Structure 1
Amino acid sequence: MQLRRVAVLGGGPAGLYAARLLKLAQPRCEVVVHEQGERDTTFGFGVGLAAGTQRKLEAADADTLRDIRAAGRPHDMTMDVGGAVARVRNDNLIGIARTELLDVLQRHAEKAGVRLEHGVRPAADDLDADVVLAADGVGSATREAGGFGASVELGRGLFLWCGAGFALDDAVFAPVDTEHGTFVTHAYPYADDRSTFLIETDEPTWRAACLDTAVVEGDASDTASLAHLREVFRTHLRGHDLIGNRTRWQRFRTVTCRRWSAGRVVLLGDAAHTAHFSIGSGTKLAMEDAIALVAALDAEPDPPAAFARYEAVRRPAVERLQELARRSRLWWESFPSRTHLPVERLMISYMTRAGNIPLDRFAATSPEVVGAALGQFAGVAPQVPPDLTDWVLRSRVAPDDLDALVVDAVLDDPWGVEADAVVAAAAAAAPAALRVVGPPERPALLTRLDLAERLRTEVGATVVVEGPPDLRDDLAAGLVSGRADLVGVTGSTGSGEAS
């Protein structure tokens, strides 16, 4: 369809990129971006763009991606546990300052003929436009006005974003145990003299450290927490301070909507959906939404048909990523329970936490890490055998006559209230061994492995996890990552993805 006028609410990555792509596709259309903040004012530090997202951006708009890459900083990834370090290659992963990313997107939008209006916050109903693209973020006023069937789920853990005035060599995941509990940082470089430090903890640690008492008003940062965390992470900060920018503790908000459009208004980016930052997905989802929405607007005869096409194309990918992100969030919220693992085995646990990276694929790209982990697991010299799954399972299949209490696990959250009851009942029974069983589908098996990890840690019994023969790779990853002691390969075949 040929559009006359399009209004975009929100000048973040989703809104700016959609505006540029739409103007390139329909030069006669008037496209205006309305951003409530001033042009040179933004919040946050760095964002990451992985190789897969970059390939999609290149196909959609090579000129913009060229400038994003030029402003970005490539880096690998490390995990540092008490000075023991495991490093993973991360080809083409880049960090870029949010300010730089927005500057690139603003320049390219204006170059295409988009008009940018800053310091204004109109409502969708007040705009004269054929279509209103609502890209006004996780706190979207457009979404909250109703019509989209929105719901928001809060995570259990707490996190805050801050920065530091130097560039780390690589991205680093680092837990630090303190007298109050464990804090963990996800930190990465995004400029020659800047790094992001995202820091997480659980509620008991947060309260024990008295970080729940800070009073933060307006745009101020939580300076008491920044001072405390500067001491916690002083080794990783190399003598630098932590930098705040509206820095305060939050719980992650997972946004879902039953509908992404209502009338002439359509949601994209965080306004429509969010996925936990540990998957690195916010900017990715926003810009990929923009690509799909503009393609649908260009291909369909009217807005309702375009919105339906956009949602049909994007919703499966978004929901898959949201499920991966949910699993990743639960893993990070329970992170302190597994810091006893050697760093290489902890890296295996991290890489397989959401079920989207098979153990053999990780071994192909990071043989040193996987080889060391396999050596630790089996008590042999580091190695990556050619028959990796068979090698792992060979001595860890539970005998059929093992005397074990059976736990039939049918639940969604291995750290939720239902799981608490399962763990408490198992602890009260005090068995020598537990056999965790359940449906054969892959999502159920992944949840079973996570529950088994809790049972190993909190009950202290030998834990067997049963799974179907076609999911032997997941069972092997569960063994190496410390989620299970033994496995049972039995029953019908499983099916389905991790999402």
Structure 2
Amino acid sequence: MQLRRAAVLGGGPGGLYAARLLKLAYPACDVVVHEQGDPDTTFGFGVGLAAGTQRKLAAADPDTLRDLVAAGRRHDMTMRVGGRVARVRNDRLIGIARTELLAVLRQHAEKAGVRLEFGARRTADELDADIVLAADGVSSATRESGPFGGRIESGRGLYLWCGTDFALTDAVFAPVRTEHGVFVTHAYPYSGGRSTFLIETDEDTWRRAGFDSSTEATPVDASDEKSLRYLENVFAEQLRGRRLIGNRTRWLRFRTVRCDTWSAGRTVLLGDAAHTAHFSIGSGTKLAMEDAIGLVEALREEPDRAAAFARYETVRRPAVERLQELARRSRLWWESFPSRLHLPVERLMVAYMSRAGNVPLDRFAATSPDVVGAALEQFAGGPGPADPAAVTDWVLRHGTGRGGGNLVTIDEAPTDPWDGTGDAVVARARRAFDDGAEGFLFTGPPGRSALLTRLDLAERVRTEVGGPVVVEGPAALRDDLAAGLVSGRTDLVTLVNDPAGNPGRNS
């Protein structure tokens, strides 16, 4: 389609990148970015660009990617629990300061001929443009005032973004048990002298520490200094005695945004305005920049605006919804993280990598043989196979069976194993255990989503009530069952044939 004028609401990564790609695709088009904030003021610390996103940026705009990579910092990943460390190579992941990211994207947008206007709040209705790209963030005024059918779901756990003034060697996942409960940090370097420290906890711990009061007392443009000073002591080992730095830092609950439609008339939503995915697996920067690529491709290939917007959503929505589902499972795992601290760090790392069903055990074994090898020995009491391709079969040989004794069958399938329905299952299991049940058999629908949820529910009963616990699942999903065994989600598994031909892990 032809474009004369295009307006972008929001000067974040998605808006700036979309503006550049639009100008490159339509050199004669007048492309303007409207950002209500000041260009020298940004919030947040570092963001991550995964390998898959880098490949897509390389195909769409290699010049911009080159400068982003040069400004970023590669790192591996470690988990530290109880004095033990598990390390996973992940140096294709780049951490980059949000300030640097925006500076590079602004520079490349202006180089392409995009005009940037700062300091004024604009709305889609007042802009003279053929199309308006609303990249105005998770609190998008465009979405909230338009016919997009926006819905927001808040998580149970609480998190706090802060930083520190030195660069960690690796990304670090580290839980610390305090007098109030467990806090866990996800920290990673993003420049030569800076690291992001993201800290999570559950609501009970948050309240016991008095952070409900400090959050309420913290103005929206300030940082929660009470929390920062307390957490400096909690994570003194990881911080090496340094201070935590705030930047409008306060406790928040993650908000998952979904919309019935991403466009209306000449306006189309982009990035967090249209959808969000929990930070533990889905990056808002990743989704927004990939949205920009998909939108501009659709505009170039379709004859008119309506067809282009429809194509953009048709192509992007399945990928976004898949990532949102992975992110939902990851969020639930992190919100229940303290219940797993009894696991050796290597098995906990396997549990972390397989938490959303996105990393098969054999693939993880191929990239991190030391971690998986130790986890297999902890699981079965002896060394596992040298060939990563043989890991799943080996695990199932050691963990397939129905056990003995009086097993109570549980066939509930809640969407969230930690919600009220999950609470009721745990309560019934506890009563059955007190009445003489010797364990539990979890059965249910053969679909993959149902099996992953069944494994999570079984893990909760195994941890909170006792076992043995057996999970039944289709043979086609043997990879997920094997990962569940090594991760401590179940004691045994039973493979059944699925007459409906349930698809495997790539579904």
Q: Which band: TM-score by shorter chain?
A: over 0.9
- One-letter amino acid of the counterpart of residue 502, structure 2: G
Q: 1:168 to 1:395 in 2, by over 3 A?
A: same
CA distance in 1, matches of 2:197, 2:74: 17
**1:472 corresponds to 2:478:** yes
Cα pair 1:443 1:497 within 8 Å, conserved: no
CA distance in 2, matches of 1:498, 1:117: 44
Q: 1:125 to 1:86 in 2, by over 3 A?
A: same
Q: What does residue range 80-91 of structure 1 map to in structure 2 within 5 Å?
A: 80-91=80-91
Identity %: 72
Of 251, 261, 264, the match for 2:253: 251
CA distance in 2, matches of 1:15, 1:497: 34
CA distance in 2, matches of 1:136, 1:319: 20
Of 403, 427, 430, the match for 2:430: 427
**1:417 corresponds to 2:417:** no
**1:18 corresponds to 2:18:** yes
Q: Can you give the 5+ residue segments of structure 2 that lack an aligned partner in the other structure?
A: none
Deviation at 1:497, TM superposition (A): 5.6
TM-score w.r.t. the length of structure 2 is 0.97
CA distance in 2, matches of 1:384, 1:187: 32
Q: What does residue range 236-247 of structure 1 map to in structure 2 within 5 Å?
A: 236-247=238-249
**Deviations 1:269-310, CA, capped at 9 Å, x for gaps:** 000000000014211100000000011111111111110000
Cα pair 1:72 1:95 within 8 Å, conserved: yes
SS at match of 2:280: helix
Deviation at 1:186, TM superposition (A): 0.4
Counterpart of 2:492?
A: 486
SS at match of 1:11: coil
Cα pair 1:440 1:491 within 8 Å, conserved: no
Cα pair 1:31 1:114 within 8 Å, conserved: yes
Counterpart of 1:360?
A: 362
Q: What does residue range 325-344 of structure 1 map to in structure 2 within 5 Å?
A: 325-344=327-346
- One-letter amino acid of the counterpart of residue 60, structure 2: A
Counterpart of 1:265?
A: 267
Counterpart of 1:32?
A: 32
CA distance in 1, matches of 2:227, 2:157: 16
CA distance in 2, matches of 1:35, 1:298: 25
CA distance in 2, matches of 1:409, 1:347: 28
- One-letter amino acid of the counterpart of residue 395, structure 1: H
- One-letter amino acid of the counterpart of residue 287, structure 1: M
**Deviations 1:130-166, CA, capped at 9 Å, x for gaps:** 1000000000010010200000000000001000000
Counterpart of 1:495?
A: 503
Q: Can you give the 5+ residue segments of structure 1 that lack an aligned partner in the other structure?
A: none
Counterpart of 2:316?
A: 314
Cα pair 1:465 1:486 within 8 Å, conserved: yes
Q: 1:135 to 1:402 in 2, by over 3 A?
A: same
Q: What does residue range 83-482 of structure 1 map to in structure 2 within 5 Å?
A: 83-214=83-214, 215-381=217-383, 384-385=386-387, 387-399=390-402, 402-430=405-433, 431-482=437-488
Q: 1:233 to 1:382 in 2, by over 3 A?
A: farther
- One-letter amino acid of the counterpart of residue 452, structure 2: L
CA distance in 2, matches of 1:397, 1:128: 65
SS at match of 1:376: helix
TM-score w.r.t. the length of structure 1 is 0.98
Cα pair 1:51 1:91 within 8 Å, conserved: no
**For the aligned residues, what is the CA RMSD?**
1.2
Q: 1:334 to 1:384 in 2, by over 3 A?
A: farther
CA distance in 2, matches of 1:205, 1:311: 40
CA distance in 1, matches of 2:308, 2:404: 59
Counterpart of 1:3?
A: 3
CA distance in 1, matches of 2:168, 2:120: 37
- One-letter amino acid of the counterpart of residue 83, structure 1: G
Cα pair 1:48 1:280 within 8 Å, conserved: no
Deviation at 1:395, TM superposition (A): 2.9
